[in-house]
Amino acid sequence: MKQLRIKIGDKTYDVEVEELGGDSASAAPSRPARPRAASVAPAAAAPAPAPAAAPKAAAGDNSITSPLAAMVVSIDVEVGAQVNEGDNVITLEAMKMNTVVTAPKSGTIQAIHINAGDAVEEGQALAEIA
């Protein structure tokens, strides 16, 4: 597989292309380049296989869970910290945008299941609050 970046107008697509053997120069039909690029663009919509993630902690009633698949930027509390509903607990980053995960209720942080730099999945338990 080759990874290519294709730009059509103002949009850029990252695609994977599989070579199907044979001499690509002699096998390529003589067509204009623009229709060929347009036919490759829909392949960018195909989902790529997800990388293996750290094992998820089971989410319970006292869990603070991830709202999206992301990378942990910072953990803004420590075990034993008292937090109020809405306080910042963890900062995640996805697609170069930060998302702050807040405490769903007031209480004490009982456990933190992740570390800064970890990849997390949507719905994964990040911490426990009681």
Is residue 37 located within the same domain as residue 67? no
pTM for the predicted model, two decimal places:
0.55
Q: How far apart are CA 90 and CA 88, in angstroms?
A: 6
Is residue 18 located within the same domain as residue 72? no
Residues 12/5, Cβ–Cβ less than 8 Å: yes
Residue 14: domain span: 2-45
What pLDDT is recorded for position 37? 47
Is residue 82 located within the same domain as residue 116? yes
Contacts of 77 (CB under 8 A, 6+ apart): 83, 87, 88, 89, 90, 109, 112, 127
Contacts of 1 (CB under 8 A, 6+ apart): 16, 17, 18
Q: How far apart are CA 77 and CA 109, in angstroms?
A: 8
Is residue 90 located within the same domain as residue 41? no
Task: Determine, yes or no, domain membership for 29.
Answer: yes
Is residue 71 located within the same domain as residue 125? yes
Is residue 84 located within the same domain as residue 121? yes
Number of structural domains the chain divides into: 2
What pLDDT is recorded for position 49? 54
**Per-residue model confidence as pLDDT tens for the chain (130 residues):** 788 888 888 888 888 888 777 655 545 554 444 544 444 445 455 555 554 444 444 556 889 999 999 999 999 999 999 999 999 999 999 999 999 999 999 999 999 999 999 999 999 999 999 9
Task: Determine, yes or no, domain membership for 54.
Answer: no
